[in-house]
Amino acid sequence: MMLGKEQSWAQWLRACSRDPASPAKLGQGVLGMLTGQDGRALAAIAQCWKLYALSDEAGQRAALAAVMNLLGALQPKCHFFAKELIAYAMDWDDREKLWPLVSGRSSS
């Protein structure tokens, strides 16, 4: 039996941008601002959040360090996508707990 394909980070963000009830702070068409480099960096960040969600303490520290470094590959105006992707791998409430650990500020 073949299982369904997992929703990609971009599909997930697009669905959030179209859902008026979504806690994500995205508007329709917002993904259009992403460059190819932004997309690749966000794909890596999405995997880091998944790693964080499923790891022991050492894995979580490594995932946070990787996200901090990958933020430098994003246009500053695209950093908020990385914050929203926390909920792609975990829960909506985890954004407020984890984002300050990688961004150095409480909100973005």
pLDDT band per the 50, 70, 90 thresholds, residue 108: very low
Give a yes or no: residue 22 inside a domain.
no
For 11, residues 6+ apart whose C-beta sits below 8 A from its C-beta are none
What's the pTM?
A: 0.88
Give a yes or no: residue 24 inside a domain.
no
Q: pLDDT by residue (tens digit) across 20-62?
A: 889 987 887 888 889 999 999 999 999 999 999 999 999 999 9
Q: pLDDT by residue (tens digit) across 67-84?
A: 999 999 999 999 999 999
- In the DSSP assignment, the letter for residue 10 is H
Q: How many CB atoms neighbour CB 24 within 10 A?
A: 21
Judged on CB neighbours under 10 Å (0-12, 13-18, 19+), 10 is middle
The domain of 89 spans: 33-102
For residues 15 and 3, the model is more confident at 15
Question: What pLDDT, on the 0 to 100 scale, is given for residue 29?
Answer: 81
Give a yes or no: residue 7 inside a domain.
no
Q: How many domains does the chain have?
A: 1
- In the DSSP assignment, the letter for residue 6 is P
Give a yes or no: residue 5 inside a domain.
no
